[in-house]
Structure 1
Amino acid sequence: MVKKCKMKRCENVKQSVILRTDGELYSALNQKNNYSSETKQCIEQTVEKLMSETTDCNRPGMLLGKIQSGKTRTFIGIAGLAFDNGYEVAIVLTKGTRALAKQTYERLSDEFADQQELDALQVFDIMTLPSNLTNYELNQKLMIVVKKEKNNMNRLHEALFKRYPQLQQKRTLLIDDEADFASFGFTKTKSEILEINVIAGQIDTIRKQLTQASFLQVTATPYSLYLQPATLQKGNVRFQPIKPAFTSLVPVPDSYIGSEYYFKKSRERRSIAAYLYEPIAEEELVVLKKQDRRRFKLEEALHSRRIRSLRSAFLHFIVGGVIRRLQCRDEGKRQEKYSFIIHTEMAKKAHEWQEEIALEIKQQLTEAAETDALYLTKLVEEAYCNIVASLSLTERPVPSFERVKFEAIYALAQDHVMITKVNSERDVNELLDRSGQLKLRVPLNIFIGGQILDRGITVSNLIGFYYGRNPRTFQQDTVLQHSRMFGYRPLEDVAVTRFYTTEAIYAVMEKIHEFDTALRRALHKGHGKNGVVFIQRDQSEQLIPCSPNKIVLSNITTLKPYKRMLPVGFQTRYKTYMTQPMRMLDQAIKKVEQGDTPVLIDYRMARQIVDHIAETFDGEAGNPWDVTAFLSCLEYLAQHVPKRDKGKVWLIIRRGRNMGRMRQQTGRFEDAPDTPSSKNSELRIAREIGDQHPVLILTEQQGSEDKGWRGSRFWWPILVAQRATPPIVFTSATMNDE
């Protein structure tokens, strides 16, 4: 009996395509991975588009996912389905490290193990591709893994066009994993010019020489691809930028823990996410750069305030890991091994110094069990109470403190805690398991490293991340790729997870999350065409469109419907300097105030009030307030309203508040002066009236010293964007047109 093939006709494409979805390779992958209906739809639609649309060097297909969200699994499914529909060769271009190339090779070999046994398909690394492949082998489906590095790319070129020229004629799928990493990137130089990545040129050459090639780029950080100018010029060579022909979005299930969880849900006070972030002092990162006994003495590792957060992170990791292992033991389940990453510097000397500190903390904790049991109990108890506060929200039984303390001391004494420095490819290759992931050798594993941990390396069961890279050098794709704490996590693991970084870095990462969200929303709705408004203020103080490729990510403000903008972490001036600006401010407010009733006022009056408020803040103390961005966004929002009310802003005034500068529960800066406990909060009102107009909320604060202020009354402003706001990115960085 002849099996009837399941076919799927592609509609609304340039060419009519009949897609076979029950072929041997795709069916086997589907059975092995149990793809969701959403994932199958993504895979099948992507292959339809690759087969029906032209994807050349200037307009590749794009598979857009999130960090550690299942992009690899999805593109493997795409490759399998493509093989079942006429493709004969798949070339997978990986990120530029041997470790990541090995990880990809091992993953592909595992996924297609049965087909390799049946001689239906072969998987090769370009560096070990045999020099004497037979026609029998060349007639099988071939997958070639190539690290994006000059010599590897040269080997690929030689294999395709010299050693095995018959491959040049075969229908080929090029898959560029982490496409932004090797495509036309943006390198900041003195003249702000665009520099072209050499690897991209090699990829481009190979794509052009293949007779039948489809090109798919895979990334979670597509900014250098979507935010490019029309052309790129480098010397006498003119390059056409890469612009996606289509974008397929990898479905992300609810179990995924990403930037939304860390930077939005964390604002919900009764959420587990509210306990994730633990701030660290800027000075601590200085201590961790290099040894300097004037700042910190190694023998004081267990008591010095200079490394308080690192020590706390160390203990939280041990206690959190012990609790999870005890929970698994009590439930008769396998006890997992857990990991913690310290990633603050690129320099190897810094890693060596941090390793010394971590080893000293471990040694002194172990000795304290005998010499200073009371102090050790205090440290363990602090971590235990902190973790129990979040873990209790899971409604799972929590082991008693005495059990946890005993297991923590036992783990230290019996070498169940391992500290590993990872800062070279050789180190990583020695540490990889058979699947290409960092191997967890003991129950509690601490990894200290730099760039090698930036991209793609999978670290399982990560419940601690100590991060300290300089925000002034942040690039959006790089920062998100650093975020190894993203991925699929059991809720119980999330409850014991802690993320350590400075307030400044956290603020930049939050901005990047907002920018990322705005861009993805635009891509989802309009495929990136005019979906995000980019604006800046020029030298004549006018708001003008901004070329998106000039965006400096640490100087952006992203707006969307009902987005709040407000200063956080600021400090007021001293009483002596507050009298005059507060008098001017009170007079301006009284001119428009109508009790608790919202009032529609002119933008210029709102700007005058905000200018006066800015004079009451101390720019040298606390976090700086970007007043320019606040006012520019206020102006833009006020101008984009119905014509009859153009330039108008809703104003809500509330008096008699006494919010603290810090939250007692978490130790973070207060960021919600507009959300008191009452149901009729001003934020709720702002959302009700802010359909077409922005809303400016002013809350009068007493500024008490016992609340962390300087004992003087002040006004705290909050801007709420109207519901009809398109995605907007404003940059306050100085631009030039070179």
Structure 2
Amino acid sequence: MTTIPTEMHLNLNGTFYKGLDKKNGYSNETKACIENTVRNLLQNDTSLSRPGMLLGKIQSGKTRTFIGVTALAFDNGYDVAIVLTKGTKALAQQTYERLKMEFEDFKQDDILQIFDIMSLPDNLTNYELEQKIILVVKKEKNNLNRLKKALFETYPSLASKKVLIIDDEADYASIGFSKTKSEIYEIKVIAGQIDDIRQNLEQCDVLQVTATPYSLYLQPDSIELRGFVFKPIKPAFTELVPVPKEYIGGDYYFRESQEENTIAYYIYEPISPEGLIVLKKQDPRRFKIEEVLTSNKVYSLRTAVMNFIVGGVIRRIQSQKAGERPKKYSFIIHTEQKKQAHEWQEEVVIEIKRQLSVIVDENPELLTDLIKESYDNLKKSLLLLECDVPEFQKVKYEVIQAIRKDHIMITKVNSEKDVNELLDDTGQLKLRVPLNIFIGGQILDRGVTIGNLIGFYYGRSPKTFQQDTVLQHSRMFGYRPIQDLAVTRFYTTEEIYDVMRKIHEFDSALRAAIENGNDNGVVFIQKDESNKIIPCSPNKILMSKVTTLKPLKRLLPIGFQIASNTHISRTVQEIDRMVDSIVKGLDPVLIDLKDAVTIIEKIYETFDPNEGERWDVKAFISSMEYLASNIPTQNIDKVWCIVRKNRDIGRIRPQSGRYEDSPDTPSGKNSELTVAREVAFENPVLILTRQKGSQEKGWKGIPFWWPVLVTPRKTPTVVFTSEVQD
């Protein structure tokens, strides 16, 4: 983070900042962020190519913070604030309504005017033009043309004033990662229009606001030089929006969710890839819609819908008992971009609802079973919260009432027109009934706030995942009451979940690098065909092929299955002999990198390529090579190796049904992971555990080796990819 000179004097007692602070009660951390941002804007020559950066997390309070920045900027010499929003009416309206609400008192006092650029009158008086002015502008060519005309033709006096351009969702108008030719052309046009306006203003500063800054920070071309660390082109300064402890984001969904006996542990529900295929289009050969309540083909979707209904009912019962007004709840189904798929999914969910209303009277036993399955699922996390858990019969009764009284609404949203018709007065999606199910694609991603979200059924293909896009799909991030979290479930495939976890790690690594003042940014490396490890341009990275390396991280295969006895017994014996020849006893031993690579290649041969999850062995080996080759000369190309035998760990965790991910003993004075973390100072550590592979533990009844790579304590923040886009 940029160091702020203390001698810069700011007016912290001005009308606008003092008024908003009194209204909102900013925390000390938020105040520091706002004040540092304005101080930096005053001291740095910011532009579109060298902007200030306000970096937050998704739905974590970025808007609240940049509104505070706007107020303090007005008290310190700025006259006009131009807020650029993503090019959708939903976000523009949401932003406009929020700004209008925050600055309402100042508008009433005739010291500020606020307009959507498309509704800006052409007859403003000097009395109005002398006030502070906020203009909300969509990043869309007609809006930007209207802004240009207003500044330089209709009201040229504004062009001579001190202007602050706030570019919200800044990465939207930046070229980064993979985009279509039409998207790139549109982005270039919009960016060109913004820059043209900025250059013709007499005094202008630019502040970009985003939670996904990758296309802004990560601009350099490929530099093919082994071991070279390049510095990404970065904004003039960066301020991190503080994240309160109440915020629920990637840490909760992808880190805490791995910890048993926590509420977060129950939030993720794996779904099968086949379950997503059924939802692509209607195909009676694959799935008959009349079997929607009994077919295994839609088991995960049916379960998700029932969990949402039961969860929403439980929360409403709890609220009523506590004397609170019951809330309305929402659930999102987002698996495809195509409208045809949305129509089919709507048809399926409507049929689920219809058949539920039928079996209330005609097959109450089936309805009871469906409700009980969801109740038992949600009860696990509710009991951990130690809150009031309604009795099953009470929940069953209220679920039946919700079905009979039509408290469940299914809404397809696959165009901006659909969204606009569904917005409330604040620009948020309106929840019209107690239980609201929204089905759609990208239109539900960015800028659309959906309140009280307790279910998210996600299935976008990881082959098309890009860092900035995927994080914005995560509408389940934000401020969530702990009681809501106890009934919240996130549904996706193991593969997609793993990709999202990698993206979270990348996001955390970048934020940590900025927070720690790491001027080197994040290093990107790739493995090329000539077997060299080189930095690469980040806009070539496919996030599904990314591995983030940071200090003392574990890398290991998860969810794999070993091949049959006849195929691997000889290979396992070869590994046994090789390991025994280079590692004696339990103490860690430095071995040659080439030997470690050979062992890993042999281990990979023992895995079944047609069963279980695929192991990216290329990333594992290349990461090990990178870590072992970028160290002082005396131990270069060496890897610590720790060997443990006679282990008998299962493939699946019995309580959760998830894949086992801890073949190494994690704790204890002499555990291999504890020892590894002690010796992993400069060289990586390879832990090799020989497993019995028992059939009763989910394996094939033959021993095998399970490797774990532990990164060194001195590992720089690295994002590694074994494959890049063309």
Q: Using structure 1 for the length normalisation, give the TM-score.
A: 0.94
Is 1:449 the counterpart of 2:415 in the alignment?
no
Q: CA deviation at 1:204?
A: 0.8
Q: CA deviation at 1:676?
A: 6.3
SS in 1 for 2:661: coil
Q: 1:486 aligns with which of 470, 477, 498?
A: 477
Amino acid at match of 2:589: V
Question: In 2, Cα distance between the equivalents of 1:732 and 1:195?
Answer: 31
Match of 1:322 in 2: 313
Is 1:555 the counterpart of 2:545 in the alignment?
yes
SS in 2 for 1:176: strand
SS in 1 for 2:244: coil
Describe the shift of the 1:67–1:13 C-alpha distance in structure 2 as closer, same or farther (beyond 3 A).
closer
Describe the shift of the 1:148–1:193 C-alpha distance in structure 2 as closer, same or farther (beyond 3 A).
closer
Question: In 1, Cα distance between the equivalents of 2:451 and 2:17?
Answer: 27
Question: In 1, Cα distance between the equivalents of 2:17 and 2:335?
Answer: 42
Question: In 1, Cα distance between the equivalents of 2:180 and 2:26?
Answer: 45
Contact 1:266 1:273 in 2 (8 A): yes
Match of 1:125 in 2: 116
Contact 1:13 1:52 in 2 (8 A): no
Q: CA deviation at 1:267?
A: 1.3
Q: CA deviation at 1:619?
A: 1.8
Question: In 2, Cα distance between the equivalents of 1:178 and 1:524?
Answer: 21
Match of 1:687 in 2: 677
Question: In 2, Cα distance between the equivalents of 1:341 and 1:598?
Answer: 49
SS in 2 for 1:136: helix
1:603-642 matches, within 5 Å, as: 603-642=593-632
Contact 2:176 2:539 in 1 (8 A): no
SS in 2 for 1:683: helix
Q: CA deviation at 1:275?
A: 0.9
Contact 2:116 2:136 in 1 (8 A): yes
Match of 2:408 in 1: 417
Question: In 2, Cα distance between the equivalents of 1:158 and 1:173?
Answer: 18
User: Over residues 112-153 of structure 1, what are the superposed CA-to-partner deviations in whole Å (9 max), with x where a residue is unaligned?
Assistant: 111111111111001111111111111111111111111111
Q: CA deviation at 1:194?
A: 10
Amino acid at match of 1:491: I
SS in 2 for 1:221: coil
Describe the shift of the 1:177–1:196 C-alpha distance in structure 2 as closer, same or farther (beyond 3 A).
closer
Describe the shift of the 1:677–1:42 C-alpha distance in structure 2 as closer, same or farther (beyond 3 A).
closer
In terms of mean alpha carbon deviation, does 49-58 or 39-48 score higher? 49-58
Contact 1:57 1:208 in 2 (8 A): no
Identity of aligned residues (%): 62
Contact 1:183 1:199 in 2 (8 A): no
Question: In 1, Cα distance between the equivalents of 2:303 and 2:373?
Answer: 9
Amino acid at match of 2:79: E
Match of 2:107 in 1: 116
Q: CA deviation at 1:679?
A: 6.7
Is 1:532 the counterpart of 2:522 in the alignment?
yes
Amino acid at match of 1:690: A
Describe the shift of the 1:444–1:196 C-alpha distance in structure 2 as closer, same or farther (beyond 3 A).
closer
Describe the shift of the 1:193–1:26 C-alpha distance in structure 2 as closer, same or farther (beyond 3 A).
closer
Describe the shift of the 1:300–1:82 C-alpha distance in structure 2 as closer, same or farther (beyond 3 A).
same
Match of 2:82 in 1: 91
Q: CA deviation at 1:12?
A: 6.8
Question: In 1, Cα distance between the equivalents of 2:527 and 2:410?
Answer: 49
Question: In 2, Cα distance between the equivalents of 1:336 and 1:196?
Answer: 40
Match of 1:56 in 2: 47
Contact 1:15 1:52 in 2 (8 A): no
Q: Using structure 2 for the length normalisation, give the TM-score.
A: 0.95
Report how many residues are paired.
715
Give the unaligned 5+ runs of structure 1. 1-10, 232-240
Describe the shift of the 1:16–1:184 C-alpha distance in structure 2 as closer, same or farther (beyond 3 A).
farther
Is 1:152 the counterpart of 2:152 in the alignment?
no
Q: CA deviation at 1:242?
A: 7.6
SS in 2 for 1:725: coil
Q: 2:428 aligns with which of 423, 426, 437?
A: 437
Q: CA deviation at 1:682?
A: 2.2
Is 1:581 the counterpart of 2:558 in the alignment?
no
Describe the shift of the 1:716–1:394 C-alpha distance in structure 2 as closer, same or farther (beyond 3 A).
same
Question: In 1, Cα distance between the equivalents of 2:260 and 2:683?
Answer: 29
Q: 2:326 aligns with which of 335, 338, 345?
A: 335
Match of 1:7 in 2: none
Q: CA deviation at 1:57?
A: 2.7
Amino acid at match of 1:384: Y
Question: In 2, Cα distance between the equivalents of 1:230 and 1:628?
Answer: 24
Is 1:373 the counterpart of 2:364 in the alignment?
yes
Contact 2:175 2:184 in 1 (8 A): no
Describe the shift of the 1:735–1:404 C-alpha distance in structure 2 as closer, same or farther (beyond 3 A).
closer
Describe the shift of the 1:13–1:504 C-alpha distance in structure 2 as closer, same or farther (beyond 3 A).
closer
User: Over residues 289-343 of structure 1, what are the superposed CA-to-partner deviations in whole Å (9 max), with x where a residue is unaligned?
Assistant: 1111111111111001111110010011111111111112222222111111001
Match of 2:227 in 1: none
Question: In 2, Cα distance between the equivalents of 1:196 and 1:123?
Answer: 27
Question: In 1, Cα distance between the equivalents of 2:610 and 2:292?
Answer: 31
Contact 1:648 1:693 in 2 (8 A): yes
In terms of mean alpha carbon deviation, does 681-690 or 577-586 score higher? 681-690
Amino acid at match of 1:209: N
Q: 1:266 aligns with which of 249, 257, 268?
A: 257
Q: 1:426 aligns with which of 417, 422, 430?
A: 417
